[in-house]
Structure 1
């Protein structure tokens, strides 16, 4: 059964070369984008994980209001 599917896929690829190229190229671009996004997310989530006390690291911020009411 799988042999028949592979045979018909190869026939369609050889008959419709341009359309097959567009489909394979689009699939390649899509997978590449997904992998780059995944690598970026993994990198951002692993920030400061090398520290033994990584769960105890916090970010402290402070905002100031000027006399005009503008927040900096």
Structure 2
């Protein structure tokens, strides 16, 4: 059964080359973006986790807007 599905998929890929290229490229770009976003989120969540008392660390930020 799976062999038949693969055969049909390959036949459709060779029959519609442009459409298949666009779809496969879009899928690859989407998966790459998802992977990069996941890596970035994991990095942001691990901020200062190497300290002993990391749950007691706080970050103070100041934003100043200058008009002009």
Counterpart for residue 57 of structure 1: 57
Q: Deviations over 1:12-36 (max 9, x none)?
A: 0011111000000000110111111
In 2, the alpha carbon distance for the partners of 1:39 and 1:24 equals 23
SS at match of 1:49: coil
Going from structure 1 to structure 2, the CA distance change for 1:49 and 1:12 (only over 3 Å counts) comes to: same
RMSD: 1.7
- Please tell me whether Structure 1 or Structure 2 has the larger radius of gyration of its CA atoms: 1
In 2, the alpha carbon distance for the partners of 1:60 and 1:8 equals 59
Using the size of structure 2 for normalisation, the TM-score is 0.83
Using the size of structure 1 for normalisation, the TM-score is 0.79
In 2, the alpha carbon distance for the partners of 1:52 and 1:58 equals 13
Counterpart for residue 15 of structure 2: 15
Deviating 4+ runs (over 3 angstroms): none
